[in-house]
Structure 1
Amino acid sequence: MTHDRRRPYRTIGAAVAAIALLVLAAQAHGALAPGSGGAGSAPAAKPPPKHAGFDYQIGGPYAPPSGVEVVSRDHTAKPADGLYNICYVNAFQAQPDAEDEWGDLLLRDANGDVVYDKEWDEAFLDLRTADKRERIAKKVGRWIDSCAEKGFQAVEPDNYDSYTRAPDKLLTAKQAQAFIKLLSERAHDKGLAIGQKNTPDLADARKANGLDFAVAEECGEYDECGRYAKAFDDRVVVIEYTRDGLAKACEGWGDRLSVVRRDVDVSKPGDDGYVRQTC
């Protein structure tokens, strides 16, 4: 159940064997590190550490509290020095008042009207054709590239579950997965790990979709943390927005997953309503 955010091996012959021997020889002489790619290849993506101190700063960056090892920030911000940084991008919906940037890539209903996620006042992006998915991925991909250039280690594409909120089944899980695969490829090409944002119903397909860890909002509140923990081998960062949700997440998963409570607006210290608590 999904809830709204609070936000073949084949033998080819002697030629392949000869190449393999040359590679092994190069490794033995230090010319090529085991597991390394060719010239210009990106480093292997590394997911965030398990059960690490975590802070969710997508509403604006600030000095991470003591004990924090992993932080998530918007793609327009800089990563935090010395920490594992996750880069937030709104990949499946347009930011409020940013519809003009997307043109014909906005989802429209049978009347030609743009379709909105009413809770967040964000227009859905149109994932219904391969051409549009590729064009959207190209734009989002530039943000992903920027995340890598800035020094982030991972990317968090938000609103993977937009198909669950689009009316009249205009979007489907199959389309969402086809799109996330494009983003996974782009992220991995840049050496970034990529997280599944919410969407527990698709957690079991995470390997097929190329996803490395999970960012789960309110999984304690809705008893979903176990689904993410199993699918992602405990590589899960949890954000709760209520006292009860934090208590449930900490009681059931506080010794295994990275858990934090934030205010719904994900504000900064000193702002009215700022909340940050951990287990």
Structure 2
Amino acid sequence: MRKAAVAVVCAALAALAGCSGPGDGGTAAPSERWRPRPGLAWQWQLDGPVDPSVDVPVYDIDGFENSAEDVARLHRDGRKVICYINVGAWEDFRPDADDFPESVLGHPNGWKGERWLDIRELSVLRPIMERRFDMCRDKGFDAVEPDLVEGYGNDTGFPLTARDQLRYNRMIADIAHRRGLSVGLKNDLPQIPELVRHFDFAVNEECAQFDECGLLKPFIAAGKAVFHVEYAEPNSAFCADARRLKLSSMRKKPALGVWRAPC
């Protein structure tokens, strides 16, 4: 009777109180999760079949487009593997596209087939993201890179606020941690002070081009890796500062294929 009552309470209050829901395994302790340290070299490949030949300890690849065997092959080579998942926009080409009601779909975000999500609708989006992160866990990924977690600063079609974004981003981190997955904060530089303790690493695009790399120092100070790419800047323009800041930096082409030019 007592266990049943506790289960009912947890099911009702899980999102607010942090209880473990059925089948989610509870929140993994930080010591049980992968905790990437500053300076780790990495590969970020979202275009095409994953090429395992790049000799780095960390791979960041698309969660939908890669199989459990792809992840296992990278693990056999001694790599940790991050699962790329878009959590801020609907993508019409994903197999779960029909799970998103029209009411949460906003303006196009500039990428073909994508529309911003109304991140205020936690009760709608949480179960969808839970299923996506279940996929990452079940395929054997070590971590998640949730993309587009700064919609509040864009023309989404919804009146999103910074508070809405903080609430959503913390929910995303909680979903990952409950599945034993590490989770990275993608960009969203203004909210780093409020979010650094909730995330295990950071992923950044073009902080050097926009003179923003110093804003990532809280992650480095906390002993958490910052995986960083530049697209337009030559390595000579940012690698010295990246090494000084202990960023894991490289130059990539925007398509995020195999090519990379590490610092």
| TM-score relative to the length of structure 1 | 0.72
Q: Which residue of 2 aligns with 1:176?
A: 165
Residue 257 of structure 1 pairs with residue 247 of structure 2: yes
Q: Which residue of 1 aligns with 2:79?
A: 83
- Letter of the structure 1 residue corresponding to residue 40 of structure 2: A
After TM superposition, give the deviation of residue 201 of structure 1 in Å: 0.6
Matches within 5 A, 1:47-62: 47-60=35-48, 61-62=50-51
After TM superposition, give the deviation of residue 120 of structure 1 in Å: 5.0
Change (3 A) 1:175 1:206: same
- Relative to its length, the structure with more helix (as a share) is 2
Change (3 A) 1:252 1:47: same
For residues 127-154 of structure 1, the C-alpha deviation after alignment (integer angstroms, 9 at most, x for no partner) is 23xxx21321211111112212222111
Residue 117 of structure 1 pairs with residue 106 of structure 2: no
Q: Does the residue aligned with 1:254 lie in a helix, a strand or coil? A: helix
Identity among equivalent pairs (%): 27
Distance in structure 2 (CA, Å) of the matches to 1:144 and 1:249? 34
Change (3 A) 1:86 1:97: closer
After TM superposition, give the deviation of residue 184 of structure 1 in Å: 1.1
Q: Does the residue aligned with 1:239 lie in a helix, a strand or coil? A: strand
Distance in structure 1 (CA, Å) of the matches to 2:112 and 2:39? 30
After TM superposition, give the deviation of residue 168 of structure 1 in Å: 6.5
Q: Does the residue aligned with 1:115 lie in a helix, a strand or coil? A: strand
After TM superposition, give the deviation of residue 215 of structure 1 in Å: 0.2
After TM superposition, give the deviation of residue 106 of structure 1 in Å: 2.4
Residue 219 of structure 1 pairs with residue 184 of structure 2: no
After TM superposition, give the deviation of residue 235 of structure 1 in Å: 1.6
The total of aligned residue pairs comes to: 222
Q: Which residue of 2 aligns with 1:278?
A: 262
Q: Does the residue aligned with 1:160 lie in a helix, a strand or coil? A: coil
Matches within 5 A, 1:136-155: 136-155=125-144
Aligned alpha-carbon RMSD (Å): 2.2
Query: Residue 88 of structure 2: which of 79, 87, 92 is its match?
Result: 92
Unpaired runs of at least 5, structure 1: 1-39, 108-113, 269-274
Change (3 A) 1:147 1:229: same
- Letter of the structure 2 residue corresponding to residue 150 of structure 1: K
For residues 56-77 of structure 1, the C-alpha deviation after alignment (integer angstroms, 9 at most, x for no partner) is 01223111412x1111011121
Return 164-173 or 221-230, whichever deviates more.
164-173
Distance in structure 1 (CA, Å) of the matches to 2:93 and 2:178? 31
Q: Which residue of 2 aligns with 1:45?
A: 33
Change (3 A) 1:96 1:262: farther
Residue 165 of structure 1 pairs with residue 163 of structure 2: no
Distance in structure 2 (CA, Å) of the matches to 1:95 and 1:226? 32
Distance in structure 2 (CA, Å) of the matches to 1:84 and 1:74? 14
Return 52-61 or 211-220, whichever deviates more.
52-61
Change (3 A) 1:167 1:152: closer
Unpaired runs of at least 5, structure 2: 1-24
Query: Residue 238 of structure 1: which of 222, 228, 231 is its match?
Result: 228
Distance in structure 2 (CA, Å) of the matches to 1:101 and 1:232? 37
Query: Residue 195 of structure 1: which of 179, 184, 193 is its match?
Result: 184
Q: Which residue of 2 aligns with 1:185?
A: 174
Distance in structure 2 (CA, Å) of the matches to 1:168 and 1:106? 10
For residues 98-146 of structure 1, the C-alpha deviation after alignment (integer angstroms, 9 at most, x for no partner) is 5544113423xxxxxx422135552111123xxx213212111111122
Distance in structure 1 (CA, Å) of the matches to 2:53 and 2:126? 31
